[in-house]
Amino acid sequence: MSHMPTQKNRTQHDVDSYREVNDIIVRGNDVPCPNYCFEEGSFPEYVMQVLLKQGFNEPTAIQSQGWPVVLSGRDLVGIAQTGSGKTLAYMIPATVHINNQQRPQRGEGPIALILAPTRELAQQIQKVAHDFGSTTMIRNTCIFGGSPKGPQARDLERGVEIVIATPGRLIDFLEKGTTNLRRCTYLVLDEADRMLDMGFEPQIRKIIQQIRPDRQVLMWSATWPKQVQALAEEFLVNYVQFKFAAG
């Protein structure tokens, strides 16, 4: 990697050709340059340790362009297929975001909320949250329908930093007052197109309306239909959009 110019003195030409080689198409104002390697993310040591331990050599295209956007606090729409490394593209910045704040006390809601369409996806996301959160004691819970509410409610009442949820079950808990979204500043909609296809739009709206306006929102979608575009226009601010031609 040493032959590459470092992030600070890269020309626009370097950045454009990197994006071209990696099939990254970006839209938005002042889009941060991609991170060519993990070191450029300026991640804390605890993140680097997990990345190395898991044997990752370099970021996927979605991570290289996603991390600098998310870490700069911008809203984001990422159009990419499952399997492109998007979970790490939002989970590592979530970890950093949480570790820079007071931890939630009992009765306070989560700092990060990740909405997913299905139990299966929610559980896959939870595994990644666990890998990256365990070194700094970040607590997470996975909330979904079709399984007993008791253990999920207990996790929420004790206090967790990250909630990974399907929309319907989360609304049950919000309406009962088991948890709240007053502390939530980091919202991820994963597989947004699939959530809308499954009819979750009213629930998503209801949830977002309970989150403070200074939140950061990251929306991931495999496709970019009108319905998803309309949701992004309504709830995201000055967002960066990128898509991966390679899918």
The identity of residue 211, as a single letter, is I
CATH number for the domain including 86?
3.40.50.300
pTM: 0.93
How far is residue 110's CA from residue 156's CA, in Å, rounded to a whole number? 8
Q: What is the pLDDT of residue 184?
A: 97
Q: What is the pLDDT of residue 4?
A: 52
Q: What is the pLDDT of residue 8?
A: 67
Q: Is 152 inside a domain boundary?
A: yes
Q: Is 92 inside a domain boundary?
A: yes
Q: Is 153 inside a domain boundary?
A: yes
For residue 161, the 8-state DSSP code is S
Q: Is 54 inside a domain boundary?
A: no
pLDDT tens digits for the chain (247 residues)? Answer: 444 556 667 899 999 999 999 989 999 999 999 999 998 988 889 889 888 888 888 899 999 999 999 999 999 999 988 777 899 999 999 999 999 999 888 889 999 999 999 999 999 999 999 988 888 889 999 999 999 999 999 999 999 999 999 999 999 999 999 999 999 999 999 999 999 999 999 999 999 999 999 999 999 999 999 999 999 999 999 999 999 865 4
- The answer to whether 69 and 48 are in contact (CB under 8 A) is no
Sign, CA torsion 176/179/181/183: positive
Structural domain harbouring 215: 74-239
Q: What string of DSSP letters covers 24-89?
A: EEEESSSPPPPPSSGGGGT--HHHHHHHHHTT--S--HHHHHHHHHHHTT--EEEE--TTSSHHHH
Q: Is 88 inside a domain boundary?
A: yes
Residues 6+ apart with CB under 8 A from 141: 152, 155, 156, 160, 162, 163, 164
Q: Is 135 inside a domain boundary?
A: yes
Q: Is 134 inside a domain boundary?
A: yes
Q: Is 171 inside a domain boundary?
A: yes
Q: What is the pLDDT of residue 3?
A: 46
Question: What is the tally of structural domains in the chain?
Answer: 1
Q: What is the pLDDT of residue 1?
A: 41
For residue 102, the 8-state DSSP code is P
